[in-house]
Amino acid sequence: MKKDSTLLKIFTRNWQIKIVSLVFAIIVYILISLSNSSTRTISLNLDVIENPNYKIENTLTNKIDVDIRGNEQVIYLVDPKDLYAKLDLTDVNKTGISKVAVKLIYNGQESIEQRINFSINPSIIKVLLKDKNSE
């Protein structure tokens, strides 16, 4: 029984200082992990999937920039060949100007994808569509 009371004293004596130390250690850990964060920018070709009922009237960009954010050691493991960017116009069903989101597909390692963030620039593209039957 003496061992139990000694062990209990170790954890309960000066418990306020121990809690503050634990919080401080967590803050230091977060700051160090954030300082290792970096950004890598790559340029990708944009694949446009057209709607067969509409004609594109404006000039679309053929390249987009992808920012890869995460740990500096991990972001350089992403192979640009594993990234695919597409602008899918098959769901657009009206003439005029439409805003369509660019979709990014990553075909690389799932373990890497969970540790990084992707952002696309531009993420939305304005498209001017005209009905092919009205010509």
Residues 110 and 54 reside in one and the same domain = yes
Residues 100 and 46 reside in one and the same domain = yes
Residues 22 and 45 reside in one and the same domain = no
Phi–psi pair at 36, nearest 5 degrees: -85, 0
Residues 68 and 122 reside in one and the same domain = yes
Residues 79 and 120 reside in one and the same domain = yes
Residues 21 and 43 reside in one and the same domain = no
Return the ∠ at Cα 7 (arms to 22 and 17), rounded to 5°: 25
C-alpha span between 121 and 64 (Å, rounded): 6
Residues 2 and 67 reside in one and the same domain = no
pLDDT of residue 42: 92
Residues 45 and 29 reside in one and the same domain = no
* Residue 27: its H or E element: helix 15-35
Give me the number of domains the chain comprises.
2
pLDDT of residue 2: 60
How would you list the strands of the sheet with 124-131, edge to edge? 54-56, 124-131, 96-101
Domain that holds residue 91: 39-134
pLDDT of residue 135: 57
pLDDT along the chain (135 residues), means of 10: 69 84 91 78 90 84 90 83 89 86 85 80 90 73
Residues 64 and 94 reside in one and the same domain = yes
Residues 10 and 69 reside in one and the same domain = no
